[in-house]
Every structure is written in C-alpha cells, then in structure tokens.
Amino acid sequence: MNSILIDTIRRAHARRFGARPAAVAYAPGRVEILGNHTDYNAGFVLSAAIDLGIALAVSPAPGQTCVLYAIDVNEDTSVELPVTAPVSRPLWANYVLGVVNQLGGRGRIGHGFSATIAGNIPLGAGLSSSAALEVAAALGLGALYAIHPPKLELARLCQAAENEFTGARCGLLDQISSLYGRPEALVFTDFRSLEIESVPLGADVCFLIADTRVKHSLSGSAGALRPDEVESEYNARRTQCEQAAAFFGSVLDHPVKPENGLIKDRRNPPKPESGRRRVQALRDVSVDEWKKFSARMDPLTARRAAHIIEENQRVLEARRQLAAGNLQAFGELMFQSHHSSRVNFENSCPELDALVDAARTMPAVLGARLSGGGFGGSVVLMVHPADAASAGKELAGRYQAACGQACEVRVIKPSAGARIVRE
C-alpha cells in the first residue's frame, strides 16, 4: 500500500472539511492474467491485486448532505440522503453513490458524510480503478455506519452498485480481485461456486503493465469510443454470450460432474453430484461440443462463444503449468488468449495488438495479452525479474516506432487486498 497516498488523503480531507477522517479505506486495482470475460460466464480467472489503488477518507456530517471530493480531478459534488438514483454529472460519483444506495439496503444510514477520494491507478488503463473506488467506498462508509457485510457479500454489493448506477453489466472479477489479493500470489476464482484460492508465484515470475494510453478505442472503428459506447460494446458481448449459452442449452444435456477439483474442506469433501443438467453458461460447453454444433449458430455469436469456452480451458491449464513451474507454457497460453480476444471476441484494438506483436518477437517476454475488458487500456506481460527493465525499455521503443506515441511500462507487484487503514 502506498503510504504517501494515505498521508496525502488524510491531510487533504482535514483541509477540505476541517476534521480528521473517522476512517480511511484503501482498495487496490487489479490485473487480469488469464480469464478474459469468463467471470460473468460462470468460468475461471487468474488475476491479482496490484500495488496501485484508490483511497477514501470519510467523516460524519450533520444533516442529510453527503459531499464527495476527488483530489485527482479537483472536483466535488453533493447529494442528499437517501440516495436512490445516479447523478448525471460527475459520472465518477456514481461509483460511490451506488455503494451508498446498496449499503442503505443493509443497514441504517442516519446522517450525511464528507468523503475525500484519491488514487494512483492510471485512469483508462484497464486496471479497474472503478472497482477499487467501489470497494474503498464500501469499506470506508461501512466503517462509518457500522455496516460490515462479509467479504464476498461486499464484492456482490459493489458489483450491484456498478450494474445499477453506471449501467455496466460487469461480473465479479474486479471486486473479488481487489478484496482477496495477496502479496506474491495470484487469485484463482471459480465464478460458479465462488471458491477462491490463492496461487503462490515463484521468485522467477515478474509482471509488467504496458499502458497504451488509448482509453476507449475499438478495433475497426473510425475513432475513439466514448465511455458509454464502451459500456455498450461490453454489454453486447455479454448478451452474445448469453445467447450462445441458451443455444447450447437447447442442444446439449450433460451429466453433472466436478470440473476443477477445488475443495474448501478436505476433511469433509462434498458428495459427488449425480444426474443431468442442461447448459447454464458457456463454462458448461467443451471445445469438442462447440466444434460439433457451432455451424448451426450465427457466425459472430459462435466466435464469441469459442473465445469463452477456450479461455476457460486456458485458465485451468495455466494453473497446472504454474504449479509445475513451466513458465514457458504459461506464457504461451497468454499469447493464445490475446489472439482469441483479437479474432474471436474482437475486444482488442490496434495499439494493444502492436504491443503483443512486438512482445511475441522478444525472447525476454514469456507471455503477453490484453488485460481487462479491452477496447484500449493495457497489456500485461510476464518476464523473468532480471529481464524486466530491459524488456520494458525495448517494448516502449517498439511501441513508439509502431504507433507514434509513448507507452508507459511499469513493473506491477501482486499485493494485499483492500482494507481499512489503521493509524
């Protein structure tokens, strides 16, 4: 956690509101290593909380007025309780107001508050600053109003806040990654059972993030997309996945069987399920089944389904390869993931492709792929720690030559999850 960020927000809150904060919460951003758009398809993801995040300081206020002050954009806004609907401006406020709305359904919010927000996650870089803001708000305001949902319920609360107050039909990946992160480990999540496992990284693994500085660009479009257009494209992908799952549900009937071998309590393992069930999500469809039936689908929807079905298999295989110490195989799965995003899911853009294409030819880079929702943002790369500095410098130079603009490349460290910051 960044102590400078915490000191800054404490001082700024005292200056702006004339009182020390009653609580300070910090939530990290996340990087998606493998598992692109699989979370809302009841699939699997390997992710990590990172060493960049959002902090929120809060203190009680009289009456029913809630004031939000964002240091990074030097902007504030105020609303009256109860919070029942999003505001038209500023849009960033809705990530907090959605959380206030959700907390109000779980406890008593009897007075207003003053909140100060600051962060060091590059906006638009695909590192989930939005979920970090939601989680920090949920922890900080939860502390103020003595509303303390369990960690997984807190993730769902933040997801609902984003779904209902911003219109983005996001899954739970970002919130879970921010809450469950651990130092020097990945977060493996099964989004059907919501079983979460910490996967240790060896000392020979290092991740880089290369920010294209393309905030919202869609491959093949005439120009940059507005944030609402990106949300529309994201929501369209989700709808296409749901349509594909419905199709496979109409043609397949499966025996119920365990899939990933996660057991919460090995002393009391769950009893094997029996019987049959229809496809509920693309996670239930195998690659062979896709090959057998995809010709009967709309070609575009079939490609969307292929990405999710194969991506789930890549995540499970990557987990096995990481446990075996086979970083070359793990990295190759990252390259395959990006190719599928580019061709099947079409959520890449020319700048992301330029970075991955360059990385593919660099011996020091073990793997690379877009991270997050896509349509701009960042590429995550896996390298050996000794190669991080030289690989980052070479990649930035190649991006400058290919795209005519700068690219920020930094080492990111898998880090601890969100928490209340004590004095």
Q: Which residues are catalytic?
A: 174
Three-state secondary-structure class, residue 72: coil
- The residue assigned the tokens 């107050």 is 165
375: left (phi over 0), alpha (psi -120 to 50) or beta: left
Residue type, 198: S
Sign of CA dihedral 135, 138, 142, 145: positive
Name the pairing type of β-strands 112-119 and 65-70: parallel
Q: How far is CA 20 from CA 15, 65, 112, in A?
A: 9, 18, 16
Q: How many CA atoms lie within 13 A of 47 on its CB side?
A: 37
Q: Are 114 and 92 in contact (CB under 8 A)?
A: no
Q: Is the dihedral of CA 397, 398, 404, 407 positive or negative?
A: negative
Q: How far is CA 244 from the centre of its chain?
A: 23
> Which residue in the block uniquely carries the two structure tokens 């939000």?
68
